[in-house]
Amino acid sequence: MNAAVSALRSQFPLLAAAPGLHYLDSAATAQIHGAALDAVIRHETTCRANVMRGTYALAEAADRAFDAARHSVARFLNAGSAEEIVFTAGATAALNLVAQAFGNTLKAGDRVLISVAEHHSNFVPWQMLRERTGIELALIPVGADGVLDLGRLPELMGSRCRLVAVTQCSNVTGAWSDVAAIVAAARQAGARVLLDGAQAVQHGPQDVRALGVDFYAFSGHKCFGPGGVGVLWGRAQVLAALPPFLGGGGMIGEVTFDNTTWAAPPQRFEAGTPPIAQAIGLAAALDWMMTLDWPQIHAREQRLGELLIEGLQRIPQLRLLGPATADSRAPIVSFDIEGLHPHDICQVLDGRNLALRGGHHCAQPLLAALGVEACTRASIALYNDETDIQALLDGLVEVQRTLT
C-alpha cells in the first residue's frame, strides 16, 4: 500500500481495524477520523452540558467548545463570520431550512431553478414548496454525460427567478457544476444561489466567498466527521432578512402571549438543543482537513479516478455514466453493466470485501435522464489507493464470470 495512504488510513479507527476492507462508498458516508471521534468522546465525558442555558462552569465550557466549533466551520468555508454558520442535522435539514425559510419569502409565480442532477434532498423540498405556495419550478437539463447544460440558463430563469439551487458536484457522476457561470447568470437575474456542497466537502476546504453563492449546505458524515450534524452557511445579510423555520427554545428574542421576536442568526435558525457534541466532532474533522496537502491529495484522487475509468472502459457490456475523463469530475464513478442488477453486482463485490453502493442513489431524475434505473457507484476518498481500484477491477471479473 502507498505509504502516504497507509499513514492516512491508520488515522481512521474503522479502517485501521479492517485492513482488508476496500471502502469505496465515501460518497454515501466517509469514515470518521480519529480526532473527530476523540473530540466527541472528550466532550461527552468532560464537558457535557446544554449550551446557551447555564451559568455554571461546565455549561460555560460547553458554550466555549460549541462556539469554537462554529469558528472552525467558518474557517473551513472561509465564511465572513462565525455568525453565518447554522448547525443543522445534516445537508438535507439545511436544504429544507432554505426551502422553508427562504420559501416563505416567495410568492406564487416566483421561480426556483434547480437541475436534473440534484440529489432528492435538493429536489423534493422544492416540489413541496411548489405544492404549498404555487411557485414555479424549472429544471436545468443535463447532457448525455450528466453535466449541467447551461446553454439556456437566462431563458430558464425567466423574469421572476428568485433562487437557483444546484449541486456543486453530482453524487452519481461526480461531475462538477460550473458554479461561476451559474452565479453570474443568477446575479444578472437578481436571484440568490444555493449550493449543495454535500459531495464537495470531503475533497477539501471550500471558499464560499470565492464561489460567490448565498447559501451552502453540507453534512458532517461526508467529511470525516460524525453523523447527525450538518451546516447551512448563509451570507450574513441574506440570513438576517429571513424568517425562522422551526420555532422553539434558543431562537427567540422575547416571547409574550401576543407576540414573539426572533434572535439574530445563527440562533434564529437553531431552535431547540443543537447537536452539540456532533458539531464539536465535525469541527475536529475540519480542523484536521485544514492541515492536509490538498493539491497532493487531489492529484492522487484524480489518478485513482483515471485508473478506475480506464479499467472500467475495458470491461465488455459496461457503460460508464458521467464524463469520460477523470479531470472534470470528483472521484465518483458510476456504471451500468448490461443485464446485471447493481444489487447483485454489489453482493458479489461484498463477498470480496468491497463496499460499493448500487441503486438509484437518491437521484432518480438524473438516472432517468441518463437512461438507467439503477447503477453501481464507486466513490474514492483520501484513504483509498491503487489496491482498492485493482480489487474492484478484479472483483468485476468475478461479477461477470458468476453472473453472466
Burial class (CB in 10 A: 0-12, 13-18, 19+), 21: middle
- Look up residue 246 and give its DSSP letter: S
Min separation Cβ 163 and ligand PMP, Å: 16
Rounded CA gap, 301 and 299, in Å? Answer: 6
Number of residues that bind ligand PMP (CB under 6 A): 13
Q: Is 375 assigned a catalytic role?
A: no
Q: Which of 31, 34, 49, 90 binds ligand PMP (CB under 6 A)?
A: 90
Rounded CA gap, 130 and 256, in Å? Answer: 33
Q: Which is nearer to ligand PMP, 13 or 359 (CB)?
A: 359
- Residue matched to cell numbers 460567490: 212
* Contact in structure between 215 and 233 (CB atoms under 8 Å): yes
Q: Which of 22, 111, 119, 162 binds ligand PMP (CB under 6 A)?
A: 119
Rounded CA gap, 169 and 1, in Å? Answer: 29
C-alpha grid cell, residue 391? 480489487
Q: How far is CA 207 from the centre of its chain?
A: 15
The answer to the question of residue 199 lying near ligand PMP (CB under 6 A) is: yes
Task: Report the phi/psi class of residue 329: left, alpha or beta, with left for phi > 0 and alpha for psi in -120 to 50.
Answer: beta
Tell me the window of 114-122, 149-157, 262-270, 308-316 that interacts with ligand PMP (CB under 6 A).
114-122
Dihedral over alpha carbons 385, 204, 217, 28 (to 10 degrees): 10
The answer to the question of residue 307 lying near ligand PMP (CB under 6 A) is: no
Rounded CA gap, 35 and 16, in Å? Answer: 14
Tell me the window of 16-24, 89-97, 125-133, 371-379 that interacts with ligand PMP (CB under 6 A).
89-97
The answer to the question of residue 115 lying near ligand PMP (CB under 6 A) is: no
The answer to the question of residue 332 lying near ligand PMP (CB under 6 A) is: no
Min separation Cβ 125 and ligand PMP, Å: 11
Give the sign of the dihedral formed by CA 239, CA 241, CA 246, CA 248.
Answer: positive
Min separation Cβ 33 and ligand PMP, Å: 17
Q: Which is nearer to ligand PMP, 85 or 198 (CB)?
A: 198
The answer to the question of residue 96 lying near ligand PMP (CB under 6 A) is: no
Q: Provide the residue type at 49 as one letter.
A: A
Tell me which of 47, 346, 362, 375 is the catalytic residue.
Answer: 362
The answer to the question of residue 92 lying near ligand PMP (CB under 6 A) is: yes
Tell me the window of 88-96, 141-149, 318-326, 374-382 that interacts with ligand PMP (CB under 6 A).
88-96
The answer to the question of residue 121 lying near ligand PMP (CB under 6 A) is: yes
The answer to the question of residue 171 lying near ligand PMP (CB under 6 A) is: yes
- Exposure string of 354-385, with b = 16+ CB inside 10 Å and e = fewer, is bbbbbbbbbbebbbebbebebbbbbbbbbbbb
SS3 string, 223-241, reads CCCCCCCEEEEECHHHHHC
The answer to the question of residue 146 lying near ligand PMP (CB under 6 A) is: no
HSE-CB at 318 with a 13 A cutoff on CA atoms is 24
Q: Provide the residue type at 182 as one letter.
A: I
The answer to the question of residue 278 lying near ligand PMP (CB under 6 A) is: no
Pairing label, strands 260-262, 318-321:
unpaired
The answer to the question of residue 26 lying near ligand PMP (CB under 6 A) is: no
Rounded CA gap, 238 and 391, in Å? Answer: 48
The answer to the question of residue 31 lying near ligand PMP (CB under 6 A) is: no
H-assigned helices in 244-363? 276-289, 294-313, 342-350
Tell me the window of 7-15, 53-61, 195-203, 335-343 that interacts with ligand PMP (CB under 6 A).
195-203
Q: Which is nearer to ligand PMP, 277 or 307 (CB)?
A: 277
Min separation Cβ 182 and ligand PMP, Å: 15
Q: Which of 115, 219, 267, 334 binds ligand PMP (CB under 6 A)?
A: 219
Min separation Cβ 360 and ligand PMP, Å: 11
Q: Which is nearer to ligand PMP, 173 or 267 (CB)?
A: 173
The answer to the question of residue 166 lying near ligand PMP (CB under 6 A) is: no
Q: Which of 100, 167, 278, 376 binds ligand PMP (CB under 6 A)?
A: 167
Q: Which of 25, 84, 196, 336 binds ligand PMP (CB under 6 A)?
A: 196
Query: What are the catalytic residues?
Result: 362
Residues near ligand PMP, by CB under 6 A: 90-92, 119, 121-122, 167, 171, 196, 198-199, 219, 362
